[in-house]
Amino acid sequence: MTRKFFGTDGIRGLTNTPPMTAETALKVGQAAGAHFLRGDHRHRVVIGKDTRLSGYMIESALVAGFTSVGMDVVLLGPMPTPAVAMLTRSMRADLGVMISASHNPFADNGIKLFGPDGYKLSDEDELAIEARLERRPDLSQPEKIGRAKRIDDARGRYVHFAKSTFPERLRLDGLKIVIDCANGAAYHVAPDALWELGADVVALATNPNGVNINDACGSTHPEGLQERVVAEGADIGLALDGDADRLIVVDETGRVIDGDQLMALIALDQQRKGELRGEAVVATVMSNLGLERRLDSAGLRLERTKVGDRYVLEAMRSLGCNVGGEQSGHIILTDYSTTGDGLVAGLQILAAMVDQGKPASELLRQFDPVPQLLKNVRFAGGAPLETDSVRRCIADAEAELGSKGRLVIRKSGTEPLIRVMAEGDDEAQVHDVVDRICAAVEAA
Is 379's pLDDT higher than 90?
no
200 neighbors 225 (Cβ within 8 angstroms):
no
DSSP-derived secondary structure for 418-435: EEEEEEES-HHHHHHHHH
Residue 441 or residue 250, greater confidence: 250
pLDDT class of 2 with cuts at 50, 70, 90: low
Shared fold status for 11-152 and 157-240+247-253: yes
Is 261's pLDDT higher than 70?
yes
Give the pLDDT score at 137: 92
**Mean pLDDT over all residues of the chain?**
95
Q: What share of the chain has pLDDT > 90, as a percent?
A: 86
Is 375's pLDDT higher than 90?
yes
Is 269's pLDDT higher than 70?
yes
CA 51 – CA 208 distance, rounded (Å): 6
pLDDT class of 414 with cuts at 50, 70, 90: low
The contacts of residue 335 (CB under 8 Å, 6+ apart) are 275, 322
Is 9's pLDDT higher than 90?
no
Q: Which of 226-235, 271-280, 409-418 has the lowest mean pLDDT?
A: 409-418
pTM value surpassing 0.75:
yes
Give the pLDDT score at 29: 98
Q: What is the CATH number of domain 372-443?
A: 3.30.310.50
Q: What is the mean pLDDT of residues 159-184?
A: 97
Which CATH superfamily hosts domain 157-240+247-253?
Answer: Alpha-D-Glucose-1,6-Bisphosphate, subunit A, domain 3 (3.40.120.10)
Residues tagged active-site: 102
CA 101 – CA 266 distance, rounded (Å): 27
Q: Which of 205-219, 246-260, 301-315 has the lowest mean pLDDT?
A: 301-315
> Which overall architecture, per CATH, does domain 11-152 show?
3-Layer(aba) Sandwich (3.40)
Give 3-state DSSP helix, strand, coil % of the chain, rounded to 5: 40, 20, 40
The ranges assigned to domains in the chain are 11-152, 157-240+247-253, 372-443
| 51-104: pLDDT as tens digits | 999 999 999 999 999 999 999 999 999 999 999 999 999 999 999 999 999 999
Q: What is the mean pLDDT of residues 304-317?
A: 92
Amino acid (one-letter) located at 432: D
| 321-340: pLDDT as tens digits | 999 999 999 999 999 999 99
CA 20 – CA 24 distance, rounded (Å): 6
pLDDT class of 217 with cuts at 50, 70, 90: very high
